[in-house]
């Protein structure tokens, strides 16, 4: 009888704890891997679509090594703005971070070349809004426009489909979307 009591009091709870801990670690690893896989797939689709359409590329002598394609540049900054401005984030902006982001955008965008006039106009508009923020002006409308340009370009260039929102701020329209 005493052996049953020890079993119920120590072994079973310990086994349940280990099982619960194992499930938690397994799910956390699985979730992190799925998020990373989704990001990689999205960037790969962006890179292949951008390469296939050849609408824009980085200049040959560009110092940019962070992005494989213009599509991945658009995708990454769209994600960055989703995280920092989405779900009410526009109401609690971290201006120093936004100034750094805007500076990064302008350092990259100057190395993009395209023969598509509409896309060039969009990059020029993005650059102007980014200069506003980079210069220290706390302009939420400029941030909102930046986010919307990257959002719509992500749809047009990369085929982003994780939303039904479309702001129609870009001049560039892909043959698939318009």
49-61 per-position pLDDT tens digit: 544 357 888 887 7
Residue-level pLDDT at 49: 52
Which of helix, strand or coil describes residue 102?
helix
The Cα 102–Cα 167 span in angstroms is 21
- What is the pLDDT of the chain when averaged over all its residues? 84
How far, in Å, CA of 156 to CA of 177, rounded? 6
Strand boundaries in 10-120, DSSP class E: 57-58, 112-113
CA distances from 13 to 17, 18, 23, 169 (A): 6, 9, 15, 59
In this prediction, residues 124-152 reach a mean pLDDT of 96
Indicate yes or no: pTM above 0.85.
no
């Amino acid at each position: 009888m005493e052996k049953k009591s020890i079993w119920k009091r120590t072994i079973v709870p310990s086994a349940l704890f280990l099982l619960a801990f194992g499930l938690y670690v397994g799910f956390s690893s699985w979730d992190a891997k799925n998020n990373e896989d989704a990001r990689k797939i999205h960037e790969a689709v962006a890179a292949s679509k951008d390469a296939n359409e050849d609408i824009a590329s980085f200049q040959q002598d560009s110092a940019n090594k962070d992005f494989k394609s213009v599509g991945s540049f658009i995708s990454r900054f769209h994600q960055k703005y989703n995280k920092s401005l989405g779900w009410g984030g526009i109401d609690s902006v971290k201006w120093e971070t936004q100034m750094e982001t805007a500076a990064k955008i302008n350092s990259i965008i100057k190395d993009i070349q395209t023969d598509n006039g509409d896309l060039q106009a969009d990059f020029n508009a993005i650059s102007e809004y980014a200069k506003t923020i980079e210069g220290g002006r706390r302009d939420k409308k400029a941030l909102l426009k930046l986010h919307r340009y990257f959002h719509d370009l992500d749809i047009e260039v990369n085929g982003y489909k994780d939303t039904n929102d479309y702001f129609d701020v870009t001049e560039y329209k892909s043959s698939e979307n318009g």
